[in-house]
Amino acid sequence: MKQKIDIKKRVEQTLNSLDGIQRATPRPWLFSRIKRRLMQQDEKTLWETTGSFLSKPLIAIAGLCVILMLNGYLLFNQEKKSSPATLISQNEVPLDSESLMASSSSFDYENLLQP
Amino acid sequence: MNEGTLIEQLKRGDEDAFKTIVDTWQNMVYNTAIGIVQNEEDAEDITQEVFVQVYQSVSSFKGDSKFSTWLYRIAVTKSLDHKRRKKRKKRHAFVKSLFGEEREVVYHPPDFNHPGVVLDKKEDAAMLFHFINKLPENQRIAFTLNKIEGLSYQEVSEVMKTTLSSVESLMHRAKNNLRKNLEDHYKGIG
C-alpha cells in the first residue's frame, strides 16, 4: 500500500517537473545563419532542383509506374504485330509458287515484277 | 514598430523587418521545435527552416490569425516533418541491416535534457520527455504547446485549428497516458 502511494507521488512529481520551465534559446547569430541559408537556396541549380524533385519517393514511384506501363503497352503491341495472322493480313503476300520460292530463298521477287 | 507594419515591410522584402521578426520570435520557434524533436541541433535546423519559409511565403499570410499563431503552425509542421523523416531513415537503416549492409551505426541518443528545466527537476523532466515522445502526435503537440510553451488551451486550439473541447480532451488523454506509462515504469524499477 505504501509502495502504491509512493509510486503515485513519484508519478505526480514527474508530471509536474516541467513547472517553471524557461524557454530554450538558440545559439547566437541565428539571423546570419538564416541569411546564408536563403542565399544558398537561391543558388540552387536547375539540376539540383530537378534532382530533388525527381527523388521525392512519390514522384519516383509514379514515374516508374508510367515507364512500366509504357513498356507493357509497347510489348503487348509488338506481340500483336508479330503474330502470324497479323503478318499475313499486313503484307498480303499472294500465295503463288514464285512468291513462296522467293521468300524461302530471300529472292527479291516483288521488285522483279515492277517495270 | 507594430506587428502589422513589420509584416507589410517584410512582404516588400525589407531585411531590417525580417531581422526584427527573427530576433523577436526566434526563442518561441526554437523552444517549440526543441519540445517536439527533443534535440538541440535538429531544433536549430528547424528554426532556420521556419524563418526561411516565413521569408519566402509571408505574402500568403492574410492576417486572419495572429502572426505568432501562424509561426507556431509552421514550427509544429516543420518539427513533425523532421521527426517523420528521421523515423523513415531509421527504418531504412534497419532494413539495410537485415541484409547485412551494416555500414551505418544506428545512434541511440541519451535521454533529452531541456536546457530550460529547473536544476533539481532535470532527472524527472528527462523521464517525462521520454514518455512525451511516445504519445500520439496530436496529444504530443497539445501537451508540448501547453506545458513547454505555456500556451493556454484556447491558444493551443488556434494553433492546431481545432476546438477548445478537442484540446481539453487531448490534454486529458495525454496526461492519462503519461501517468500510466510512468506508473508502469516506476513499478518496474521499484
| Stronger pLDDT, B139 or A108, i.e. the higher one | B139
Residue B51: DSSP 8-state: H
Residue with the three cell numbers 521578426: B21
Which chain B residues touch A31 with a CB distance below 8 Å? 19, 22-23
Shared-domain flag, residues B77 and B148: no
Domain CATH code at residue B181: 1.10.10.10
**Which among A7, A14, A30 has the least Cβ separation from residue B22?**
A30
How far apart are alpha carbons A11 and B179 in whole angstroms?
6
Shortest alpha-carbon distance between residue A18 and chain B (Å): 6
Structure confidence at residue A71 (pLDDT): 94
Q: What rounded mean pLDDT belongs to chain B? A: 90
Contact check, Cβ <8 Å, A34/B52: yes
B30 pLDDT above the threshold of 80: yes
pLDDT in tens, B121-139: 999 999 999 999 999 999 9
Q: CB of B93 within 8 A of CB of B104?
A: yes
Residue A51 binned pLDDT confidence (cut-offs 50, 70, 90): confident
Shortest alpha-carbon distance between residue A42 and chain B (Å): 11
Shared-domain flag, residues B62 and B96: yes
Domain containing residue B41:
1-109
Which chain B residues touch A38 with a CB distance below 8 Å? 52, 55
Domain CATH code at residue B81: 1.10.1740.10
Shortest alpha-carbon distance between residue B159 and chain A (Å): 18
For testing the chain A interface, which of B114, B144, B178, B189 should be mutated: the one with the most A CBs within 10 Å?
B114
Backbone angles phi, psi at B72, to 5 degrees: -60, -45
Q: Residue B45 is which amino acid?
A: D
Shared-domain flag, residues B149 and B76: no
A73 pLDDT above the threshold of 90: yes
Residue B31 binned pLDDT confidence (cut-offs 50, 70, 90): very high
Shared-domain flag, residues B78 and B119: no
Positive or negative, the CA dihedral A51, A53, A54, A57 is: positive
Query: Does residue A26 sit at the B interface (CB-CB below 8 Å)?
Result: yes
Query: Does residue A22 sit at the B interface (CB-CB below 8 Å)?
Result: yes
Instruction: Encode chain B in three state secondary structure.
Output: CCHHHHHHHHHCCCHHHHHHHHHHHHHHHHHHHHHHHCCHHHHHHHHHHHHHHHHHHHHHCCCCCCHHHHHHHHHHHHHHHHHHHHHHHHHHHHHHHHCCCCCCCCCCCCCCCCCCCCHHHHHHHHHHHHHHCCCCHHHHHHHHHHHHCCCCHHHHHHHHCCCHHHHHHHHHHHHHHHHHHHHHHHHHHC
How many beta carbons lie within 10 A of that of residue B132, not counting itself? 24
Shared-domain flag, residues B3 and B55: yes
How far apart are alpha carbons A24 and B40 in whole angstroms?
9
Residue with the three cell numbers 521477287: A109
End position of a domain, from candidates B79, B109, B139: B109
Residue with the three cell numbers 535538429: B42
